[in-house]
Structure 1
Amino acid sequence: MRLDKFLKVSRLIKRRTVAKDVSDQGRVWINGKDAKPSSAVKVGDELKIQFGQKSVTVRVEQLSESTRKEDAAKMYTLLSEEMHKTELWQG
Structure 2
Amino acid sequence: MRLDKFLKVSRIIKRRTVAKEIADQGRISINDKIAKSSTDVSVGDQIVIKFGNKTTTLKVTMLKDTTKKDEAYDLYEILNEEYKEDYRF
Q: Deviations over 1:23-69 (max 9, x none)?
A: 01111000111000000000000000011000100000000000000
State the 1:87 CA deviation: 4.0
Aligned to 2:58: 58
Q: Which stretches of structure 1, 4 residues or more, deviate above 4 A after TM superposition?
A: none
TM-score by length of 2: 0.96
CA distance in 1, matches of 2:24, 2:87: 26
Give 1:88 shift: 2.2
Query: What's the TM-score, normalizing by structure 1?
Result: 0.94
Counterparts of 1:1-91 in structure 2, within 5 Å, are: 1-88=1-88
Structure 2 residue matching 1:79: 3-state secondary structure: strand
Identity %: 53
| Cα distance in 2 between the residues matched to 1:22 and 1:55 | 13
Q: What residue identity is the alignment partner of 1:7? A: L
Root-mean-square deviation (CA, aligned residues, Å) is 0.9
| Structure 1 residues not aligned, in runs of 5+ | none
